[in-house]
Structure 1
Amino acid sequence: MRRVSKIAAASVATAALAFTATACGESSTESSGAGNGKLRIGMAYDVGGRGDNSFNDSAARGLDKAKAELGAETKELTAKSGETPADREQRLASLAEGGYNPVIGVGFAYKDSIDKVAAKFPDTTFGLIDSVSKHKNVDSIVFTEEQGSYLAGVAAALKSKDGKIGFIGGVDLPLIKKFAAGFQQGVKETDPKASVQIQYLSTGSDLSGFGSPDKGKAAAKGMLDKGIDVIFAAAGGSGAGAIEAVAAKPGTWAIGVDSDQAKDPALAKYAGSIMTSVVKNVDTGVFELAKSVKDGKPLTGTHAYSLAENGVSLTTTGGHLKDIQAKLDEARKKIVDGQIKVKTTL
């Protein structure tokens, strides 16, 4: 059992709710062979599931690595848009009842459901991504998003012509505000004269801001019209709209989130405008949990994957950071060494 310090507060939201919902409700993919003693992993994705080129796909990469390196058999279920907490609970329970262990919930929305189901299946190890459970059979996998965002802020400040920079958050929830806080701090500590306009696409329990590319595009266009030339969108599927808007205006930059969005096939034609992406390596957490179960020593407790262990990072696709890499490396070292304390709130 892993013994780690508890983080100060549980993350209650994620920037990675994708906008593509399964048309007929829950979808499922399952590898062949069951009941033969192999490691069997149950994955419960959030809306968008495998193929969202963002948060869910990062988890899927960890699953694929477990299949390739650990010989795991898997079952993947995907949430549908507008479902109830009971739907999520049933999804997790069905995986546990089917003998899958570990069972992993991708995203904050599974927190309450995992709390309930983990209590009913004490011999099953559960993984919870982007939130924290106190149950002894749950591995809570969280990330220091603010640290990666700080580096993105440094890059934005160094690349902006006039120091006019924008941040688009999907929803004004604590996790998204971690992205905003780190980003703004990175900008201001690099260029005190720079300004950061922060805008959220929806508020409170309205999660539509994570799945509305049209809203992302409109928000980005509004910023561009005001002279902002670097925009970081931590807004799930809505970020694609922001990237599209930026690409339409030469001389401006977009910063992606969660996965390397310059490598997203759906965004390929805009890749030249994507300076970098703030990546959360969810695949690392998924694979480490799977391996621990296979080894008979299941990870439990809370683990915050930090910049120091490459839990978060900036992508370098396209070579757009080459001219400022030394300054980014310097900032990274100061964060890792504790010289820079990155804020988690604005």
Structure 2
Amino acid sequence: MKRSNAVKFAAVAAAGVLALTACDSAAEEADGSGDGGEGDSADVRVGLAYDVGGRGDRSFNDSAYRGLEQAAEELGVETQDFEPSDGEADSAKEERLATMADEGYDLVIAVGFAYDGAVRAVAPEYPDVHFAIVDSEIEDVDNVTSLVFAEEQASFLAGAAAALTSEEDHVGFVGGVETPLIHKFEAGYVAGAEHVTEDITVEVDYLSQPPDFSGFSDPAKGRELAQAQYDRGADVIYHAAGASGNGVLESAVENDFTFIGVDSDQYENAEDNQKPYVLTSAIKQVDVAVFELINSTVEGTPEGGIQRFELADGGVDYTTSNEEAISPIQEELDAIKQQIIDGEIEVPTAP
């Protein structure tokens, strides 16, 4: 997939614009179930297990869901998605993946690094089932594909956008759970802001510490922390906090500061009264990666190992949906983006 990501990401993203509007369908159960369409692929079954926060986070999980729904509609595969429980043990994750394998799913997708141990434990027990994990690198299990992204690159652009927009040279970052993955978001964001304004102040706060992963599913706490950063002077705040980011956006509306979203285009899925506050989002094309993996399974050629997605192939990027807000700085952001792609700017992956 790596050899042609740029072409595939552009084509799949364009083809899926209409298909992906089903993201918030109320007709499906809370634990999630999608019916595959008719066609030659109807005998392929795909199961997807969500990360903390579940479907409806308007961010990471919803991006994976869009890819699953697109595959059901366009490829005719049978799909079902599964919600996590709050504070569940790793054994619950293992049981969820094993249940899908036992029930005959051809491809089992685990969304989020929290499934790393579960995938490592379960996948070797089912060599005829293909597994995938998003945001974790597993390269020593033959029937596992790892879908990983250069979050730091998109976050660098988010930081640059924040610095170019801030009137106070004071911005914020709200992380969900302080883990190495979310450190990549922080590192890129801070570096991007400082690339534009060397002496900018960047507030950095996390909602929870491992093993407490509630920081990805607590909008009220996200709102509270964003309020605190605003009270300290931040006038642009970026989050990497899953469903908790909805609280950050609520705070932006209440306090009239600028919000930067993550993973999905959070301008597109914001309420009408929230849209003016969304400058941009640092997106990861999880939906496209999921769809492409399902498509390769339908074709009988799912590729194992690690698949990386970067700015250069369109796997990560910043959004321009809020044209009025982003257009004044878009030329500068695109120049920075090209410098990253060309290797002229080296983006850190750790704070």
User: 1:215: Cα distance to partner?
Assistant: 1.6
Aligned position for 1:7 = none
Residues 313 and 143 (structure 1 numbering): CA distance in 2 closer, same or farther, change over 3 Å?
same
1:94 aligns with 2:99: yes
Contact kept, 8 Å, 1:54 with 1:236, in 2: the verdict is yes
1:150 aligns with 2:191: no
Contact kept, 8 Å, 2:58 with 2:243, in 1: the verdict is no
Aligned pairs for 1:297-336 (under 5 A) are 297-319=301-323, 320-336=325-341
Read off the aligned partner of 1:91 and give its amino acid letter: R
Aligned position for 1:118 = 123
Of residues 86, 110, 114, the one that matches 1:105 is 110
Contact kept, 8 Å, 1:292 with 1:299, in 2: the verdict is yes
Instruction: Give deviations 1:165-211, integer Å, cap 9, x for gaps.
Output: 11111121111110000000001011112121111111231112222
Of residues 193, 196, 200, the one that matches 2:199 is 193
C-alpha distance in 2, partners of 1:238/1:43? 22
Instruction: Give deviations 1:17-39, integer Å, cap 9, x for gaps.
Output: xxxxxxxx982414269999622
Aligned pairs for 1:126-165 (under 5 A) are 126-133=131-138, 134-165=140-171
C-alpha distance in 2, partners of 1:269/1:236? 21
C-alpha distance in 1, partners of 2:224/2:2? 45
1:224 aligns with 2:230: yes
Aligned position for 2:90 = 85
% same residue: 44
Read off the aligned partner of 1:220 and give its amino acid letter: A
Aligned position for 1:38 = 43
Of residues 190, 194, 198, the one that matches 1:184 is 190
Aligned pairs for 1:202-241 (under 5 A) are 202-241=208-247
Residues 244 and 314 (structure 1 numbering): CA distance in 2 closer, same or farther, change over 3 Å?
same
C-alpha distance in 2, partners of 1:127/1:169? 25
C-alpha distance in 2, partners of 1:299/1:37? 21
Q: How many residues align?
A: 323
Read off the aligned partner of 1:149 and give its amino acid letter: S
1:269 aligns with 2:273: yes
C-alpha distance in 2, partners of 1:65/1:281? 13
Aligned position for 1:295 = 299
Larger mean Cα displacement after TM superposition, 228-237 or 176-185: 228-237
Residues 321 and 27 (structure 1 numbering): CA distance in 2 closer, same or farther, change over 3 Å?
same
Residues 110 and 91 (structure 1 numbering): CA distance in 2 closer, same or farther, change over 3 Å?
same
C-alpha distance in 2, partners of 1:240/1:129? 22
Aligned position for 2:67 = 62
Aligned position for 1:259 = 264
Contact kept, 8 Å, 1:26 with 1:80, in 2: the verdict is no
Contact kept, 8 Å, 2:43 with 2:78, in 1: the verdict is yes
Read off the aligned partner of 1:185 and give its amino acid letter: A
Contact kept, 8 Å, 2:2 with 2:308, in 1: the verdict is no
Matched position secondary structure for 1:167 = strand
C-alpha distance in 2, partners of 1:36/1:295? 9
Matched position secondary structure for 1:188 = helix
TM-score by structure 2 length? 0.87
Contact kept, 8 Å, 1:262 with 1:276, in 2: the verdict is yes
C-alpha distance in 1, partners of 2:124/2:273? 47
Contact kept, 8 Å, 1:66 with 1:72, in 2: the verdict is yes
